[in-house]
Amino acid sequence: MTTKIDWLAGKKELPAHDLFLAALPGVGNVGKLVVDGLAKSPDAKLVARVLHPDMPPQALLTDSRLTPPHLALHLLKLNEKTILLLSGEVQPLSPRGQYEVASELLLQAAKSGCEHVFVLAGLASEPGVEEVFAICADDAAEEMLSSGGATISTDRPEGGVIGLAGLLSSLGPVYGVSSGCIISTSIGNSVDIHSAERMRLALQDWLNVELPIPISTTEAIAERIEKLMAEHPDSSLGRELLEDNSTSLYA
């Protein structure tokens, strides 16, 4: 048994979308604050859940219902673009599981006509360092982001990106989808609202799309993440996932 997609919107395929934004628990939970905030929009709809046997075997109560470990896929329709959003509290614990989930998601994205997949992540930095930059897996991603004014890094993070985030952001070209990772520096708090807002504003400029997230929504998500981390301190749920080598990004 490998990746299982629990389709919730009728058709057993991803709806057509222009852009795929993904975020997982990581440094400052920066990307999650952005993606989860967008998923809370009244214009967003849950279309599927992604499951894998290598995810931590811990079911959680969500909206009074017991739910298995999964990643959620929401479709957000904006005036300018239709965006697919991937987020969750877990990822497969094994390298094989991470590869299988990334491959299945990229395959489905390619089938639906998606052009760009970007993982949003935080990178631990010294106080006072406030940067947002991108690393790209192909020329198309670099050209698209550069045309919007993005800073493209060719040497940071030195250790690259690992885990599901690294595979999603690098395997895109293998499946005919442009991909990369957009990174905002963070002081490493469990939830870094300021870094997330910096990323949101950068994304609006670089992608030429309005991404409305009320600050009250961001604060509520931050409280939920902190509560989850406090309730499950020994689990693999939302926590900072940097290796000892701080130049490697695990988001």
Count the neighbouring beta carbons within 10 Å of the beta carbon of residue 150: 22
Tell me how far CA of residue 249 lies from CA of 33, 52, 110, in angstroms: 17, 23, 26
> Which tens digit of pLDDT belongs to each residue from 81-91?
999 999 999 99
How would residue 249 be classed by pLDDT, with cut points 50, 70 and 90? low
Listed by start position, the domains of the chain span 4-250
Per-residue confidence (pLDDT) for residue 127, from 0 to 100: 85
Per-residue confidence (pLDDT) for residue 62, from 0 to 100: 84
Per-residue confidence (pLDDT) for residue 96, from 0 to 100: 97
Tell me the mean pLDDT in the region 65-94.
Answer: 95
CA–CA distance, 164 with 119 (Å, rounded to integer): 10
- Assigned architecture for domain 4-250: 3-Layer(aba) Sandwich (3.40)
Above 60 in pLDDT, residue 190? Answer: yes
Above 80 in pLDDT, residue 219? Answer: no
| Residue with the larger pLDDT of the pair 10 and 35 | 35
Q: What percent of the chain has pLDDT over 90?
A: 68
Contact 116/177 with Cβ under 8 angstroms?
Answer: yes
How would residue 52 be classed by pLDDT, with cut points 50, 70 and 90? very high
Supply the mean pLDDT for the chain.
Answer: 88
> Which tens digit of pLDDT belongs to each residue from 115-135?
999 999 999 888 888 899 999
Above 90 in pLDDT, residue 140? Answer: yes
Per-residue confidence (pLDDT) for residue 212, from 0 to 100: 82
pTM as predicted: 0.88
| Residue with the larger pLDDT of the pair 231 and 168 | 168
CA–CA distance, 49 with 74 (Å, rounded to integer): 9
